[in-house]
Amino acid sequence: MTLLLGSRKWGVVSGKSNFKSAVTEETIPFRTWQLLNLLADGEFHSGEDFARQLGVSRASVFNALADVADYGVVLQRIRGRGYRLARPWQRLDRDEILRRLGQDAGKFDVEILPQASSSNTLLLQRAGLDFANGGAPSGSVLAVELQTAGRGRRGRAWHSGLGTALTFSLLWRFDRGLNALSGLSLAVGVAKMRALKKLGAQGVQLKWPNDVLTGHGKLGGVLIEAQGDVLGPSVVVIGIGLNFTLSPHLLEQIDQPVSALDEVCAVMPARNQLLAVLLQELADVLQQFAQDGFSAFREEWEQCHIHSNKPVKLQAPDGSTVSGIARGVSDSGELRLETAQGMRCFNSGEIGVRLRDGGAERSGAGASASHPQPQSGLSANVSGVRLRDGGAERSGAGASASHPQPQSGLSANVPGVRLR
């Protein structure tokens, strides 16, 4: 018995790994996934029909669907008609995504998992070796229908339900080293903005370094993790989360202002279309970034900045704050803040942006796409760096010394990038 998700069989993902070995938390039982797959069309299906199709009892069908509300699924049960999803979910389909990518399809290796704890975690495991020695190729994409332990910057959780968000990770390899990745996170924000505008999204802007906001709250975010050598080569895994819709079940879990694509698009794109357009824009931006760095995107990013020329308050992890006027960003992605002491630049790191109106943050909600907890070892911000080595914090202009191989547990942050 196999479960089809788009053109993918449940038992094997791209012929590379068994689904059960790839998924770290089996939140939804296999039988439940089978039934949700059949219910995706939004039509009524009787328990008797399900039982006959799957070769199980009606009681097994009932039990398999008993707890779907825990995953944000609203299931209608009507005597004499059967079961129907109150809101049909659009399944991700690899063949459809590749079709929409057109001539760009060859740039990507797309995989779709029904569920996983973290798409970034899985891709990072595959990025440990270079491509010549069996590592995942540049352009590897892992999209997850239901992410069970999605996490974003500063340890925040990314909440999503079945079909309510687009959560995926993209692996990309650079010849350049880790020091040259400054501003990458902001460049990825530019790619997201280009994709959303192409799909007709209105009133979307960027919050430093790369959160996408609307007038209602946070629409999506990014978390980037990297491995490699200071002098190169390097590999990044870009985790992206975008809210497609917001169910009451999800809103109960989130205590910050949030937004969804159906609030800003007059005509909603299909999830497969959204992923394809995002991948195309990401590929264009990453290729140009490899040649020209963030300076090629600086002006475009500043045009999208929600806090441009507005009073802001930056809050550091130690609780200290700096107030001033946001005056754009540097060529390396640092926020330029005009303060009473003059112009100052701040690296993204773990500094939050807060409007001065009472100190309440109005510009974000939730977190970006998933990532694992940072490992022990060196942790640093390249470009306006904060280096932590053996627990001692020291300042520097960049990571100058070489470091162990990716398997060593090295951890660092380049403006919006976590280096591992």
249-260 pLDDT, tens digit per residue, is 655 566 677 889
Tokens of 267: 């005509």
Q: For this structure, is 194 an active site residue?
A: no
Kindly state whether residues 298 and 348 are assigned to the same domain: no
Give residue 102's pLDDT band: very low, low, confident or very high (50, 70, 90). very high
CA angle at residue 168 from 243 to 145, to 5 degrees? Answer: 70
Kindly state whether residues 247 and 310 are assigned to the same domain: no
* Cα 257 to Cα 364: distance, rounded to the nearest angstrom: 7
Kindly state whether residues 178 and 111 are assigned to the same domain: yes
Give residue 181's pLDDT band: very low, low, confident or very high (50, 70, 90). very high
126-145 pLDDT, tens digit per residue, is 887 566 566 899 999 999 99
SS3 65: coil
Considering the domain boundaries, does residue 204 fall inside one?
A: yes
The 10 Å Cβ neighbour count of residue 373 is 9
Give residue 89's pLDDT band: very low, low, confident or very high (50, 70, 90). confident
Of 94 and 397, the structure prediction assigns the larger pLDDT to 94
pLDDT at 29 over 60: yes
pTM above 0.85, yes or no: no
Task: Give the domain CATH number at 227.
Answer: 3.30.930.10
Identified catalytic residue from 31, 126, 153, 173: 153
Percent of the chain having pLDDT more than 90?
Answer: 46
pLDDT at 385: 24
Considering the domain boundaries, does residue 374 fall inside one?
A: no
Q: For this structure, is 84 an active site residue?
A: no
Kindly state whether residues 261 and 310 are assigned to the same domain: no
pLDDT at 117: 83
Q: Does residue 240 contact residue 286 with C-beta atoms inside 8 Å?
A: no
Least trusted range by pLDDT, from 55-64, 320-329, 366-375 = 366-375
Give residue 109's pLDDT band: very low, low, confident or very high (50, 70, 90). very high
Kindly state whether residues 202 and 266 are assigned to the same domain: yes
What's the structural domain count of the chain?
4
65-87 pLDDT, tens digit per residue, is 988 887 778 889 998 899 998 88
* Cα 193 to Cα 195: distance, rounded to the nearest angstrom: 5
**150: Cα within 13 Å, side-chain hemisphere:** 29
Kindly state whether residues 160 and 40 are assigned to the same domain: no
Mean local confidence (pLDDT), 180-192: 95
Considering the domain boundaries, does residue 380 fall inside one?
A: no
Q: For this structure, is 354 an active site residue?
A: yes
* Cα 212 to Cα 73: distance, rounded to the nearest angstrom: 26
pLDDT at 33: 85
Identified catalytic residue from 354, 386, 418, 420: 354
Identified catalytic residue from 94, 207, 218, 298: 218
Range of 67's domain?
4-85
pLDDT at 333 over 80: yes
* Cα 107 to Cα 269: distance, rounded to the nearest angstrom: 22
pLDDT at 402: 29
354-399 pLDDT, tens digit per residue, is 544 444 444 333 333 332 232 222 233 333 222 222 333 323 323 2
Tokens of 43: 């039509």
Q: Is 412 left (phi over 0), alpha (psi -120 to 50) or beta?
A: beta
